[in-house]
Structure 1
Amino acid sequence: MEVTDDVIRNLSTKASLPVVFRQFVKDWPICAWDEKKWTSVFGEKDIPFRCLKKSFVSDEPCWERRCQVKKMTFSTFLGVLNTSQEWMYFDYKYLHQWFSSDSELCKTISWKQFGYPDKGPADTTLWVGSQGAHTPAHQDTYGYNIVAQVHGRKRWLLFPPEAGGLKPTRVPYEESSVYSELNFYCPNDLDVFNGLTGGRSVELRAGDALLVPRGWWHYVQNLDPLNIALNVWLPHEKDNSTQISEALIKILIAQICKDLPQETAKLLVNPNEDDISDTPLAVLFLQLETVVKTYLDKKRKTRRVKRQKTREDNSTEPDIEEFDLKALLDNHKNKLEIVPTIASSDIVDLIKRNIREFVNNKVQDEDEVEAGTSSLCLTKAVIDSFSQSDVIDLVKQNLFARLG
């Protein structure tokens, strides 16, 4: 079987394992852009980079709250790449918020070859970072993810949704993100990584793409001095149900934050959620009402369609996921592969490599600002207990029963 737009779209909606598309986007013009070209594209924009010392060691992940935001031009960023003691990340930025629609960058972006001709710059996020810059291990509660690597190398560690030992937490809170309490960058304690199962690891190079199925945990780290990637999140049929879970959790977090000192409340949330305690309860309930109505309406419509289909035709559509995936993988011309598994001992070795590179023989900064969540022991435990997936599912079940 050969790769076509429709085949890739079918694969992306059905795949239950992460898939690498080797050199699938190498023909994108931006994969050939050098540093000089990227400098001209960014121009003199003041870009906010999230920064933290490379040698920072903590058993908690490097939460966004720990980082400083430093603004600089892309040219300045390039000038300090090889000398800075910090990693720097301009991450999770939608293209349309930073570049005009007629810019050269926006004109080059299309996800058509993945089967999504309607997805373009408005749906695309940009990630620009230095060596060591990373995203803490987390899972996205909405949709699934396609990533295109366009400059440098990036390592992905992935775990299935049901993986144990990752210690899920909603503190710091960010809608649609469930974080792991494990620090895969430079932790003090390596014992917590022993016995992790289900892990997969892949290194992406410029021209590669990666499909991250719904709910898969991922820790992502830049390996080269300059790293640039693009991604698009695509909706999943289960998103309507998840939106209800997120709305319920948001009500809980907001009300807890309202009655706490501001500095304490800030530790409970990521910076992009700082205004959560200012959101009126009426607005939060309106948001909940909206997603509940959407979910119930869609469920009723699905039942009607299913009943109608049963009356008209008793035959069922064959599930072609396994056939499609096997045929695609067997054709080596497609350059597709399932992300390889990785043993917990090899994960530990990767982390040790980080420590040797970024920490050993480096002077530690004793004045490092603490912005961790360890001081929120009871509050955090309450939030995580209420936010646990089986608890929220039970709340939703009771909610639907009472709403009829």
Structure 2
Amino acid sequence: MAEAAALSSPLLGENVKPFTPKKAKELVMSLQQPAVFCNMVFDWPALQWNAKYLCEVLAGKTIQFRMGLKKKDTAPQFETTCTYVEATLEEFLAWRCGQPTCVSGPFSCYDSSKYWAYADYKYIARMFEDKTEIFEDVVWSDFGFPGRNGKESTLWIGSEGANTPCHLDSYGCNLVLQIQGRKRWHLFPPGDTTFLYPTRIPYEESSIFSKVNVVNPDLKHFPQFRRAHAHVVTLNPGQVLFVPRHWWHYVEAIDSTTVSINSWIELDADHEARLEEAITRTLVCAIKSAENPSNVDAWLNPTEVEATSHETNLQYLNRAMSTYLDYQKVTVSEDNHSSTYDTEKMASSCKRRKIQINTKPEDSKLLLHEAGFTGVKEEKSQKTPFGVHLIPVLPQCQEASSMGATDAMGRDSGSRLSENEGGHFGKLHCIGKPLVMSNDCETGVAKTDSDSTADSSQMAISTNDLLDCLVNPQVTSLLAHLLLERVRV
């Protein structure tokens, strides 16, 4: 017994986490910039989830990989321009290593020196639905979210070069655990939204994309991008990145095989964000559906199951409005009857009601998450304890080494948290077959977005030009407030 007690003793620093769950949650809810948590997950079983281990657990199960070109193009490689392959993890690893067995396999048409593969956004609850005990390997309760584990998380497996186009998430904040390999994150604050030229084409609920390829920008067409403030960090295995609400991010795998897990944390502000998303869906679907049917513009992102009808979208909009107003009433009631803000009471009494719109509840991205809100008021008076265990992701013009943290992490001097090299579960997505699905060799991947580079001699306003203005985040926010005023009158 004495030996067991000694192992858990705070005197043994290597066995003691730098932040208690309560403190970690306070940081997650108050931080206004990205930061890397270190030494918080050393005892998580999920750290063994490398590609080889996952091959054994999945036992030959096929998953979908997004295939993209390794190319230096100034246009973003949106998911609508990629092709998709159904394959096992064993086949993926064999292809990545260039083994001869891939000649006749699902990756046979893709040269691994020219293409990358990404099994992105895989719900752990869906992938391991017959092995639910594995959910407990992910312990988000260490960050102050009791009961949250792998069931509310997603898995990402990719080869070198695999990337997610620059975008911001409308809902929640994000915690990302890196397990195998390294990923480089390019992050931009919400205040840079105008400089990133936001667009809702391709359309995906809760994702606002940037027209700019942030690692190879076309400054002729997007000159305001020069004013953006890039925060660049290389996330290493065992580290957890915190991405605050509405921070833009472009993510790219820089090692031959990468594995990571993330979870979106619900916030009180998501109520209003869902109302804005309902407005956006209604407008985008209505206008794009009214276009000439011969238009080949792939406007719907593959993660969206279908373009819902106008009637359905209006139902969603009204329910989002009602949910938001109900939330406001509960908040006012709480404030009037108590001088303290009881987070857990709020979470249990204000569960998000699911909005069902012609789809299965467990599959729909249009459903409001049943999990409680995690609204904690910021404690601005307390200084954030940055140091070797919590490292801020700084703008590129600043040196991360000024925090005295780089060397303490035991990494190569060339791998710094701020790099000057130049250069729902969470979001409640629908699960279903993508609209762009092809196993034809190298078809679709080389397509370019019709609006990415406009000929200066062509001055006609396109439907997408109209939508870029109409559903600009600033406009939808204004529309949401105008609609709320109309309802309250």
Asked if structure 1 preserves the Cα contact closer than 8 Å seen for 2:70 and 2:115, the reply is yes
Asked if structure 1 preserves the Cα contact closer than 8 Å seen for 2:37 and 2:391, the reply is yes
Deviation at 1:68, TM superposition (A): 0.8
From the superposition, tell whether residues 34 and 392 of structure 1 become closer, same or farther in structure 2 (CA, over 3 Å). Answer: closer
After superposition, the C-alpha distances for 1:296-339 in whole angstroms (9 at most, x for unaligned) are 1222332233334479xxxxx995245152xx225x4xx11111
1:142 maps to: 171
Q: Which moved more, 1:99-108 or 1:174-183?
A: 99-108
1:357 maps to: none
Distance in structure 2 (CA, Å) of the matches to 1:272 and 1:33: 25
Matched, 1:99 2:99: no
2:276 maps to: 245
Deviation at 1:42, TM superposition (A): 2.4
Matched, 1:12 2:28: yes
Deviation at 1:248, TM superposition (A): 0.7
2:206 maps to: 176
Deviation at 1:281, TM superposition (A): 2.0
Q: TM-score, normalised by structure 2?
A: 0.71
From the superposition, tell whether residues 262 and 322 of structure 1 become closer, same or farther in structure 2 (CA, over 3 Å). Answer: farther
What pairs with 1:5-404 in structure 2 (closer than 5 Å)?
5-55=21-71, 57-83=72-98, 84=112, 85-100=114-129, 102=131, 105-163=134-192, 164-186=194-216, 192=223, 195-262=226-293, 264=295, 267-273=298-304, 275-276=306-307, 279-309=308-338, 320-323=379-382, 325=384, 328-330=385-387, 332=388, 335-343=389-397, 349-351=421-423, 369-374=446-451, 378-404=462-488
For structure 1, which runs of at least 5 residues remain unmatched after alignment?
312-316, 352-364
Aligned CA-pair RMSD: 2.9
SS at match of 2:155: strand
For structure 2, which runs of at least 5 residues remain unmatched after alignment?
1-16, 99-111, 341-375, 399-417, 424-441, 455-459
Tell me: higher relative CO, structure 1 or 2? Use CA pairs within 8 A at least 6 residues apart: 1
Asked if structure 1 preserves the Cα contact closer than 8 Å seen for 2:45 and 2:138, the reply is no
After superposition, the C-alpha distances for 1:7-53 in whole angstroms (9 at most, x for unaligned) are 11111112111110124223223324554323212221112100012
Distance in structure 2 (CA, Å) of the matches to 1:101 and 1:129: 24
User: What is the identity, as a one-letter code, of the residue corresponding to 1:117?
Assistant: P
Deviation at 1:236, TM superposition (A): 1.0
Deviation at 1:198, TM superposition (A): 2.6
SS at match of 2:61: coil
From the superposition, tell whether residues 257 and 195 of structure 1 become closer, same or farther in structure 2 (CA, over 3 Å). Answer: closer
Tell me which protein shows more helix as a share of its residues: 1
From the superposition, tell whether residues 403 and 296 of structure 1 become closer, same or farther in structure 2 (CA, over 3 Å). Answer: same
**How many residues are paired up?**
377
Deviation at 1:116, TM superposition (A): 1.1
